[in-house]
Amino acid sequence: MKIIAPCQKCTIPPSAGVMMTGELDNDLLAICSCPNGHRYLVHQAHSAPEVIFSAGLRAFLASFYSESVVTLTAALERGYELFVKVFLLANGRATQDIDEFWKELRNSSERQLGAFCVTYFFATCQPWKPDPKQAEFRNKVAHKGYIATREEAYRYGEYITSQLNAIMNHVKTHHGDALHQHLESGRAAVYRKAEEVKRSDSGLEMCFSGSSAIEWNNSDHSQPIFEDLLNATSAYLKQF
């Protein structure tokens, strides 16, 4: 996934930003360079569901509607994972044990959904209710090569946004400390990898980057709508 971030040396307010580009990996790290030759190891400062959701927004804005559907689905699945891990952490389970538990589910989306549904019921005393029509549409796109229209992808984006709203709002409202602990644990592992990368490439400096278009990162537990997120992402991308 391509990311853009302001160069820390070239971008001096109030002048226009000079942007770096790079390719993000699964640790949310990217080696980025700017037109003036400055190179940074950039860490994307959001959770995995938020970053993947952002990629789905960008795919939609670029008119890659089927690709947007698949990417937004992946964001929701990572939301399931986040919810389960944070809930278990909040209830006294050790991070190492949680990771070992999830390892057994990693290659099966059906088992992940099952684990999430049970956890969600324990956490909220309410069943999780996916929309069967949206699930059927997703499967047509992902497994049968169905080419999604803009209208279909838009409705699916609205659906995924509402699902992630429920997940992220509950986690941030009821398990904020555990969420912070979960994210910091993941970042500690990322920082260890970053130090290894920097040792092998002494010219790299490290910095952090994020997008204000990802509203779930805000502390007020806002519940955005898909249209607002598209507009915010479009405005963000037009800066560069």
pLDDT in tens, 30-48: 999 999 999 999 988 788 8
Strand (E) or helix (H) holding 74: helix 65-90
Q: Show contacts of 153-156: CB within 8 Å, 24+ apart.
A: 153/60, 153/65, 153/66, 153/68, 153/69, 154/60, 154/226, 156/69, 156/72
Across the range 116-142, mean pLDDT stands at 96
Report the distance separating Cα 94 and Cα 196, nearest Å. Answer: 26
Q: What percent of the chain has pLDDT over 70?
A: 93
pLDDT computed for residue 89 by the predictor:
96
Nearest to 210 by CA among 24, 11, 12: 24
Average pLDDT over residues 43-66: 91
List all residues 6 or more positions away from 137 whose beta carbon is below 8 Å from its beta carbon.
69, 146, 148, 152, 156
- CA-CA distance, 62 to 71, in Å (whole number)? 13
pTM for the model: 0.88
* 126/129 Cα distance (integer angstroms): 9
pLDDT (mean) for 184-208: 84
Q: Considering only residues 207 and 132, tell me which one the structure prediction assigns the higher pLDDT.
A: 132
How many angstroms separate the CA atoms of 44 and 51, rounded?
8
Average pLDDT, the chain: 89
Q: Is the pLDDT of residue 221 over 50?
A: no
Q: Which residue has the higher pLDDT, 203 or 104?
A: 104
Residue 197: half-sphere exposure toward Cβ, Cα within 13 Å = 20
Decide which of 233 and 57 is more confident: 57
